[in-house]
Amino acid sequence: MGDKLRAVLRLLGLYARMDLNWVLQDFKAALIIICAEIINNLTAVSGILLLAVRFGGAGGLSTDEILLMLGFFELSDGLCYMLFGGFNVLHISRRIGRGQVDHMLIQPRPLMVQLLTEGFMPVSGSGGFLIGILLTALAWTRLHLEVTLLRLFLLLLYMLCHILLMLGQSFLLGSAAFRSPVVSEELSTLILDLNGQLGRFPLFGLPRWLLGILYTALPVGLLAYLPSLALLGRVTGAVLALPVCIAAAFMLAAACCFRAGLRRYLQYSCNRYKEMGHRR
Amino acid sequence: MKHFRAWSATARMCLKEKSYFGLANIIAQYLLRAAGLGALLMIWRSLFMQGVDMQGLSLNQVYVYTILSTVLAPMLDVRTPASGWLHDGSVLKLYLRPRSLFAQLAAHTVGGWVLPLAILSLPVLVIALLCGVDLRPASLWFLPSLVLTVSLGFAVDYLFACLLIRLRNLEWVVHDMRQSLTALFTGSVIPFAALPWGIGRFLALTPLGSLAGGPLSIYAGLAEPMTVLAAQLFWNVVLWPLALWRFTSMRERMVSYGG
């Protein structure tokens, strides 16, 4: 176990160095990409934030509470992309659908270790995470929220749940690409986009049945809305455990489907490439 | 007539190409857009339910604006295949055919509109009407404004293609950045009239603001038609020559990795 952990940490260090090297080798391109990422993240939050500013709040939350929700979303999402965004690990259906799992199976490392490490891009992929820290800290200060152990624990726990929910949904749907590579190649992208689009919305005022769906089957409400309500002390009791339970359920289902798909892949593989090198 | 047949054949090819990733993918894409529309409508509804002072905006106006931004989405933010084809190298095939480059790109773009208009726009319109949303336009000046938006959209798209050539094929970066900028600065998601500090009035006069925000604001009765049309006409006159000049001069710089 200790050896495995050391191997994972060594690989993470290696990928971090490669990411830094890439930035240093083509600084202009890296700068453009980092700036673009910052612009993307800022514009993604500004729509709902501007509405909240204009109308003194939105969806049952005040402007500062909306800021906290958006900050939490950027923080967790940014961390998720920083850890798993590289080499399409998060968009796993692309790797599977394009027949690139072959490339992974010939590496002298377990598949799990590769998936845990090769998406790490702490330099070029940190824009969203840094903006998330800034927005969360700003909202935290403006709301005069007390820093307690419980609150910090909830913050870290819900960040972990956010990452697991994203990974779980992406791998669960993405496993379909083992069976139908062309049709399912972009399924992970679709579900991640849906999470990115709806996860930033406050869900106050929705009918109960719809809230039920958005807290379970399509858990966009657990990405930022419910966690921010918990951080604000607006929800208590068993509801606090909902993100943990749903994240665990998605990860379990994803692991089962991914394993079953991989077994099939080991039998049939996937031939998507033309002689010229581009995909069919 | 012969030219039109060639043009419409290209448009049909593009329509078929849209189903490359299969029915499940197409349905999921449109469900994604429908979900985004639903979320935004819920936000507007919740604002009105809270009794927030909407400062002159009526619920029907923002509903009409939001619904039409989804219904007319492909025309309000014109995306030709130029950027994608520059990235994967298939732009070369356009130069091998006996048709003008821009006409081919336009045919592919218009062909790509058929599926979203049929699968998403029509059902959304019908559902909106059944839900009692009054979809009558506030002014028929909306139509010329839409034409100017489409025309300006092509010019803006060619300029983004030039930027892509200049940035040596950073396709996803340009794509993501454009996606974010157009969501906010074209008024395709939030009406300019609903933005704070009067920034909407400034944005409406910019080239990006003349895209989606123009016809939608006229349709929903949120803007004076003549001001919008004048801004759109001005940016068409300025950006079209610029786009043609830049695209021609950038041709020599085209580099592709082939996917």
What is the rounded CA–CA span in Å between residue B224 and residue B201? 11
CB contact B125 to A (< 8 Å): no
Q: How far apart are the C-alpha atoms of B134 and B108, rounded to whole Å?
A: 33
Residues B127-173 pLDDT 10s = 888 888 888 888 899 999 999 999 999 999 999 888 888 877 677 77
- The answer to whether the Cβ–Cβ distance between B45 and A205 falls below 8 Å is yes
In a domain, A242, yes or no: yes
SS3 A273: strand
Number of residues that this document lists for chain A: 280
Query: Rounded to a whole number, what is the distance in Å from the CA of B50 to chain A's nearest CA?
Result: 8
pTM of the full predicted structure?
0.83
A27–B contact, CB cutoff 8 A: no
* DSSP SS3 for A270: coil
Alpha-carbon distance A4 to A113, whole Å? 8
Cβ separation A277–B42 shorter than 8 A: no
B219 three-state secondary structure: helix
Give the relative orientation of helices B171-185 and A27-55 as an angle to the nearest 10 degrees. 20
Taking the CB of residue B8, how many other CB atoms lie within 10 A of it?
13
Nearest-neighbour CA in chain A from B233: distance (Å): 27
Residue with tokens 């790490």: A120
Q: Which tens digit of pLDDT belongs to each residue from B36-92?
A: 788 778 777 877 777 666 667 788 888 899 889 888 888 888 988 888 788 777 788
The verdict on ipTM greater than 0.85 is no
| Domain-located, residue A128 | yes
The answer to whether the CB of A178 falls within 8 A of the CB of A268 is no
Domain extent at residue A167: 2-268
Whether residue B68 contacts residue B216, with contact meaning beta carbons closer than 8 Å, is answered with: yes
| Total tally of structural domains belonging to chain A | 1
Question: CA of A184 to nearest chain B CA: how many angstroms apart?
Answer: 7
Structure token pair of residue B189: 């998601």
| Residues in chain A closer than 8 A to B190 (CB atoms) | 47, 50-51
Q: Which stretches of chain B are assigned E, i.e. beta strand?
A: none
Is B25 within 8 Å of A186 when comparing Cβ atoms? yes
B22–A277 CB contact, under 8 Å: no
Other C-beta atoms closer than 10 Å to the C-beta of A168 total 23
CA atoms within 13 A on the CB side of A210: 10
Convert the pLDDT of each residue in B101-112 to its tens digit: 888 888 888 888
Chain B residue at shortest CA distance from A56 = B52
Whether A276 maps to a domain, the answer reads no
Answer whether residue A277 is part of any domain. no
Among B139, B119, B114, B126, which Cα is nearest to B67's?
B126
Residues of A in contact with B194 (CB under 8 A): 51, 54
Contact A68, A139 (CB under 8 A): yes
Q: What is the pLDDT of residue A183?
A: 77
Chain A residues whose CB is inside 8 A of the B53 CB are 55
| Interchain contact, B36 vs A198, CB within 8 Å | yes
Q: What phi and psi, each to the nearest 5 degrees, are found at residue A279?
A: -75, 150
- pLDDT by residue for chain A (280 residues), tens only, comes to 788 889 899 999 999 999 889 888 877 777 877 788 788 888 878 878 887 888 777 777 888 999 999 999 999 999 999 999 989 999 999 999 888 888 888 898 899 999 999 999 998 888 889 999 999 999 999 999 999 999 999 999 999 999 999 999 999 999 988 988 877 888 898 889 889 888 888 887 778 888 888 899 989 999 999 999 999 999 888 899 999 999 999 999 999 999 999 998 888 877 776 555 556 5
Predicted pLDDT at A166 = 96
On whether residue A104 sits in a domain, the answer given is yes
Say what the pLDDT of residue B20 is: 58
Domain limits, chain B = 2-253
What tokens appear for B103 in the block?
């006409």
Q: What is the pLDDT confidence band of residue B31, given thresholds at 50, 70 and 90?
A: confident
Rounded Cα gap, residues B232 and B236, in angstroms: 6
Beta bridge pairs of residue A58: A61
Shortest CA gap B24–chain A (Å): 7
**What part of A 164-203 touches B (C-beta under 8 Å)?**
180, 182-187, 190, 193-194, 197-198, 201-203
What is the identity of the amino acid at B177? M
Contact A168, A254 (CB under 8 A): yes
Of B46, B50, B170, the CB nearest to A29: B170
B31 in Cβ contact with A173 (< 8 Å): no
CA distance B162 to B150: 19
A278 falls within a domain: no
Residues A38 and A47: their CA atoms lie apart, in Å, by 15
Contact B46, B138 (CB under 8 A): no
Contacts of B35 in chain A (CB under 8 A): 194, 197-198
Q: Is residue A163 part of a domain?
A: yes
Residue that has been written with the tokens 């970066």 in this structure: B173
**Greater model confidence, A177 or B174:** A177
